[in-house]
Amino acid sequence: MFNSLPKNLTSALLLAGVLTGCSMAPTYVRPTAPVAGTFPAGEFATTQSEADAVALGWRQFFPDQRLQTLIAAALVNNRDLRTAALNIEAASAQYDITAADALPNVNGGFSRTRARSAASQLIPGQAPVGTSYAVGLNMTAFELDFFGRVRSLKDAALASYLSTEQARLSVQITLVSQVAQAYLAERSFAEQQEIAQQTLDSRLQDYKLAKMRFDVGASSALDLRVSETLVQSARVSFATLARQKGQASNALTLLVGTPITDLPAPQTLASQQIVTDIPAGLPSDLLIRRPDIRAAEQQLRAANANIGAARAAFFPRISLTAGIGNASSSLGDLFAAGSRTWSFIPQLTLPIFEGGRNRANLTLSEVRKNIAVANYEKTIQTAFSEVADALVARGALAEQLDAQQAFLMAQQERVKLTDLRFKNGIASSTDMLVAQRDLFSAQQALVQTRQLRLNNAIDLYRSLGGGLNETTQAPIATPVQNKTVN
């Protein structure tokens, strides 16, 4: 059938196959990072050597096996991460749809037509009702992309796909850090609740002794009421922490996406086996490490490509419609000699007057690119600020933790001395009440400070782009299939 394809149609199809068109999109230039070359050296900033947080797998950064189990379950069951993965599939399908416009659409068809002609138009001897059959291949309105409109739209769709892929990686980094911090919150409330329980048990014993002393007239009603006040205060604290621990546990289950049982025994917040401390690299490394920065840059590339499509709209659009096949008034003669048909319809569309639509679309594309530049720069500044804040807080929290531990030891010694003075009749019951309350507050504050220090390490790990890899040898990467950046 195709051996007799008309020469002009053959030439047009060959031209369409090799012609990709020039791109009218502006040459992409990555904007200069609007941040300093190094992180600010605050009063407590550290000066450790550079380390690659991305290469440090989350199992190595979080050696706590209980936490590892929770993170692994969250990466499988968390609905936000699952939605982000589905968004990648949707963006990939949208890219494939756009890329298909660069290729001709060829359809096969068969038709049977039965029609009646007007009597005035009939040739003598011709029947008024006739039947015709047709079969063939048709190519409909295939655009020859001389000015790169289709190519620019394809590049924009590819950049949007890559941006969605990086967004999923950013969601994963955030999820890993959120699970870890929710786990620390639950552990912090659990440890504080345990302290409150121990304090309540101790104060109940003290209250029993105070009650016995009061019953035999060895102490006053004031001393008894002071002891009772301490008991009720501990009960309030215990109930409050039980509620907070339960809510923190529910929040952790929501992040994980499914209830987890038979977990390994938890580590205490004082343990060195929960997180691994890491030094920080330079701000320029964030351009490679952070998926959110990569996503913002791909969005900028998409906006840049859309300018090319808007520019191409000012130029003529050339499209081809062609077909080849057979036609006959009899189904049996459909493939007989002389039944061959073909058509070739080139079409040129030249914009003459469109009420400023094309100019407005170009202006809109340029404004959207400027918005994308601003978003890209803001993303870099945000990343820089997060790392800088984490570095400054790391040194300060280390100093704060040392001070808090020393403060607790001083409070414990104070309670011992006050208790001794109270038993010897030198200190009042009020002095004992204040000392015990301060000790309980110091114990709670130490647990909270440990949690803050661990959260800070997690913040630094996340802000440097850590949380994608499970091990340093096997980084997780989402394949881009056969899509490439032009």
Per-residue pLDDT of the chain (486 residues; tens, 9 = 90+): 444 444 554 554 455 444 455 778 899 988 988 888 777 665 545 444 345 677 888 999 999 999 999 999 999 999 999 999 999 999 999 888 888 888 888 898 888 888 877 766 667 766 777 788 888 888 888 888 888 888 999 999 999 999 999 999 999 999 999 999 999 999 999 999 999 999 999 889 988 988 898 888 887 888 888 889 889 999 999 999 999 999 999 999 999 999 888 889 989 999 888 998 776 566 666 777 889 999 999 999 999 999 999 998 898 888 888 889 888 877 877 888 878 888 888 888 888 888 888 999 999 999 999 999 999 999 999 998 998 898 889 889 999 999 999 999 999 999 999 989 887 878 887 888 889 899 999 999 999 999 999 999 999 999 988 898 886 443 343 433 445 444
Residue 225 class from Cβ within 10 Å (0-12 exposed, 13-18 middle, 19+ buried)? Answer: middle
Do the domain assignments include residue 286? yes
Residue 332 belongs to some domain of the structure: no
Residues linked to residue 346 through DSSP beta bridges, in sequence order: 320
Q: Into how many domains does the chain fold?
A: 1
Looking at residue 319, its pLDDT comes to 86
pLDDT score of 281 = 61
Would you say 464 and 281 are in contact if contact means Cβ atoms under 8 Å apart?
yes
Tokens of 38: 């190094």
Three-class DSSP category at 203: helix
Would you say residue 230 lies in a domain? yes
Q: What is the domain extent for residue 48?
A: 33-105+148-314+361-463
Half-sphere exposure for 116 (CA within 13 Å, toward CB): 2
In contact, 432 and 226? CB cutoff 8 Å: yes
Distance between CA atoms of residues 52 and 285, nearest Å: 9
For residues 69 and 259, the answer to whether their CB atoms sit within 8 Å is no
Using CB atoms within 10 A of its CB, is residue 297 exposed (0-12), middle (13-18) or buried (19+)? Answer: buried
pLDDT at position 21: 54
- Residue 258 counted as domain residue: yes
In a domain, 139, yes or no: no
Closest of 22, 24, 3, 12 to residue 104, by C-alpha: 12
Residue 301 resides in a domain: yes
Q: How far apart are CA 377 and CA 35, in angstroms?
A: 9
Q: Which two tokens stand for residue 58?
A: 């989350």
Q: What is the pLDDT of residue 7?
A: 53
What pLDDT sits at residue 125? 67
User: Under 8 Å CB-to-CB from 113, ≥6 apart: which residues?
Assistant: 131, 132, 133, 134
Return the percent helix, strand and coil in the chain, to nearest 5. 60, 10, 30
In a domain, 68, yes or no: yes
pLDDT at 348: 85
Give the CATH number, domain containing residue 415.
1.20.1600.10
Does residue 20 belong to any structural domain of this protein? no
